[in-house]
Chain A
Amino acid sequence: MAVHKKVITNRVAFLEKKVPLYASVLGLVGLLILWEIISSTKMVSPLFLPAPSAIVRTGWEMLVSGEIARNLGPSLYRIGVGYAIGSVVGIVVGLILGFSRWADAIGTPVVYALYPIPKIALLPLFVLWLGIGELSKVTIIALGVFFPVVINTFSGVKSVDQSLIKAAVTFGSNHFNVIRKVILPGALPMIFAGLKLAAGTSLLLLVAAEMIAAQNGIGSMVLHYGNLMITTKLMVGVLVLSLLGLTFNRLLHWIEIKLLPWK
């Protein structure tokens, strides 16, 4: 008599299904190929949609001629300085608001009242106050970065486990050390969430500000070639911006991993 066997198999294997590494580039490469085919068959005029190969070729020429460097330099300066100021001030203010009840009561309504203002709307005002130079653009970026950072830092501080604060005080920490050794590291994951949010905002404000009030920079370059209907060069500008955003994100991610090995 044959023994009837019924093998029990793992019915949730789909949850752990392994996907090969190349899958992650499949979508991207497919899209580029499709785009290239559409362009080469001349279904769409290159004036409206230049081929990826043409964009890369033009990009290389602009890189060699130094045109990209000439525009990328000022852009990096603006976003770098603006982002640094905005995030440092945001973290410091967020810590103070989160730690001191008085500062919270006084400062938080101010922050929330100013937060919803679209920052770019203030650019004409800043140009009036600070001139058309770098300062007004840096300020608008710093301001745009400040708000998401301050709000995230604040809620990060509020979410720090009370028992850790009690432990630190018991082992002799004064208020300053409680902030430095417990609250700041405890709020750091939330602060990073704010910093990543702010990275996108800063890029947006950079381009907008350069389109409105700048002689150089990637934003003004994109606008310039748009006006001249040189679409390929415009797309090179867009490509540079997307690479800039990508690098920015990777950089933040890398710093986060370095600073939060305990996560």
Chain B
Amino acid sequence: MKIVIENVGKKFISSKKEEVTALEDINFSIHEKEFVVLVGPSGCGKSTLLNIVGGLLSPSSGSVYFEGMMEKEPNLAIVFQEIALLPWRTVYQNVIYGLEEKKVSKKELKEKADLYIDMVGLTDFKDAYPKQLSGGMKQRVGIGRALAVEPDLLLMDEPFSALDAQTRILMQEELLAIWNRTQLSTLYVTHNIDEAVYLADRVIVLSRHPGRIKKVIEIDLPKMGRDGEEHREQFERYADEIWQLIRNDAVEALRE
């Protein structure tokens, strides 16, 4: 099974009534158990692309499809930048949201909820409301909710961008550990280059105006422990390569 993004383009009408091309000629696919990271300067349309893949936005041209899936409806889960937890539901009730809609049995629902709440380390906070949690813990709930439906494709839209730098590093480590256990096909959007190199099997670098694929970089490093001393040089090389690709666009973005 793989997810194919074929000739996807997106045009918007701006507030000045001008047509703006946000995305153009986007072609790539996400293979089973692959962690693909979209990286680019602000305004390159990476979140737009993720929303199209996630079925929250329709493309102006092209299409997104799952290949090699038998009859069954593809099952997606999104971890949102805004986290988007229902404030009136406790941690447990938020995590089971997707399962409820799938009409799984009471027993299975409870088992899965417990499993994934444990996986994101929130067992002690099962009955807390989102308001009572810190930012990092809220996003753990967001991740738990997405994992609980055991999606065919997991989409993550800058999930850690609202967190402080230290929490962010810890959450990245944790995400990697979780991913290692679940091995879900993942599309991850970020503007943080180190995060991209740290997490990805493949990094897709986007340019802006219009958003196009500038380069696809295979990260040839072992999945776990990339922050170790022995990989530092290689890590830096990847990060620098990406930064050089983005730099001009990022400078331009700043001027707007």
Question: Which A residues contact B (CB, under 8 angstroms)?
Answer: 161, 163-164, 166-173, 177, 181-182, 185-186, 188, 260-262
Contact = CB atoms under 8 A, between A and B. Distances in A.
Nearest 9 pairs of A and B residues by beta carbon = A172-B101, A171-B98, A167-B84, A163-B84, A262-B88, A163-B82, A185-B88, A262-B129, A170-B78
A166 B101 contact: no
Contacts of B55: 170
Contacts of A170: 54-56, 76-78
Contacts of B101: 171-173, 177
B78 A167 contact: yes
Given A166-B78, A166-B80, A169-B56, 10 more contacts: A167-B97, A171-B97, A171-B145, A172-B98, A172-B101, A172-B149, A173-B101, A181-B97, A186-B86, A262-B87
Contacts of B98: 171-172
A164 B89 CA distance: 12
Interface string B12-35: 000000000000000000000000
Q: Is the interface of A mostly helix, strand, loop or mixed?
A: helix
Interface size of B as a range = 20 to 34
A137 to B, nearest CB: 36
Contacts of A188: 88
A219 B38 CA distance: 70
Interface of B: 54-56, 76-78, 80, 82, 84-89, 97-98, 101-102, 129-131, 145, 149
Contacts of A177: 101
Contacts of B97: 167-168, 171, 181
B229 to A, nearest CB: 40
20 contacts: A161-B82, A163-B82, A164-B84, A164-B86, A167-B78, A167-B84, A167-B85, A167-B97, A170-B56, A170-B76, A170-B77, A171-B77, A171-B149, A172-B98, A177-B101, A185-B86, A186-B86, A260-B88, A261-B129, A262-B89
Q: Which of A164, A167, A260, A262 has the most CB of B within 10 A?
A: A167
B129 to A, nearest CB: 5
A181 B94 CA distance: 11
Contacts of A171: 77, 97-98, 101, 145, 149
A181 B97 CA distance: 9
Contacts of B87: 262
Given A170-B76, A262-B89, A161 B84 contact: yes
A188 B78 CA distance: 26
